[in-house]
Copies of this chain bind each other. A is one copy, B any other.
Amino acid sequence: MPTPPDPDPFHDHDHDACSGAVLEHALTRLEAEGARLTPVRRRTLEILLESHRAMGAYDVLQRLSAEGFGSQPPVAYRALEFLVNHGLVHRVQRLNAYAACLSPQKDHSPVFLICRGCDKVAETGSSDLRAAIGGLATSNRFTVERTTVEILGLCSQCVAAGAEARA
């Protein structure tokens, strides 16, 4: 009975373990980098880890504010910026939103699967895809610094549940 290779957010998994491991990892990494996971920052990460959905900055802010932190936009944006800069959170361009990074690997280029049925977001990766981007860059003599790859569609559960097609 093989265990799944990755915690697939789209399907049932032990989410406490899933998010707990990520948080653990974050602590270790920041320690090594000499960066401080202050209360706001930690809480922000925890909030994002609660679900496999991307959250807007103002949604995060509302949560933080309700817990006694500052209530103005920079509070959320600064915490998010810190976490993004340290690779613990990714920005999902298509949603103007932020999602906790689930990969233990540092400095990776995430690929997002975004389900428009259930709004969940899965972070994956693909060496084939990286290679294809590398090839494209080479043939265009382009120096790659960052990549955004976001795939919008429906997860299998939403298809099974009868989510209607849309172009």
In Å, the complex CA distance between A111 and B144 comes to 13
Is residue A151 within 8 Å, beta carbon to beta carbon, of the partner chain? yes
Given contacts A132-B126, A143-B159, contact A137 B153 (CB under 8 A): yes
Question: Are A136 and B144 in contact, with the CB atoms below 8 A?
Answer: no
- Write the A125-167 contact mask toward B (1 if CB under 8 angstroms, else 0): 0101101110111001111111111111111100100000011
In Å, the complex CA distance between A129 and B133 comes to 7
Question: Are B144 and A153 in contact, with the CB atoms below 8 A?
Answer: yes
Question: Are B154 and A143 in contact, with the CB atoms below 8 A?
Answer: yes
Question: Are A151 and B159 in contact, with the CB atoms below 8 A?
Answer: no
Is residue A108 within 8 Å, beta carbon to beta carbon, of the partner chain? no
Question: Are B159 and A153 in contact, with the CB atoms below 8 A?
Answer: no
Question: Are A141 and B155 in contact, with the CB atoms below 8 A?
Answer: yes
Given contacts A93-B93, A94-B93, A94-B148, contact A143 B133 (CB under 8 A): no
Is residue A72 within 8 Å, beta carbon to beta carbon, of the partner chain? no
Q: How many chain-A residues does the 8 Å CB contact rule pick out?
A: 39
Q: Which residues of A contact B (CB under 8 A)?
A: 8, 10, 93-94, 111, 113, 115-116, 122, 124, 126, 128-129, 131-133, 135-137, 140-156, 159, 166-167
Please give, as numbers and ranges, the residues of chain B lying within 8 Å of A129 by CB-CB distance.
129, 132-133, 136
Closest to A6 in B: B140
User: What are 14 A-B interface contacts by the 8 Å CB criterion?
Assistant: A10-B140, A116-B145, A128-B128, A128-B132, A128-B136, A129-B136, A131-B132, A132-B132, A133-B149, A136-B151, A141-B155, A144-B151, A148-B150, A149-B149
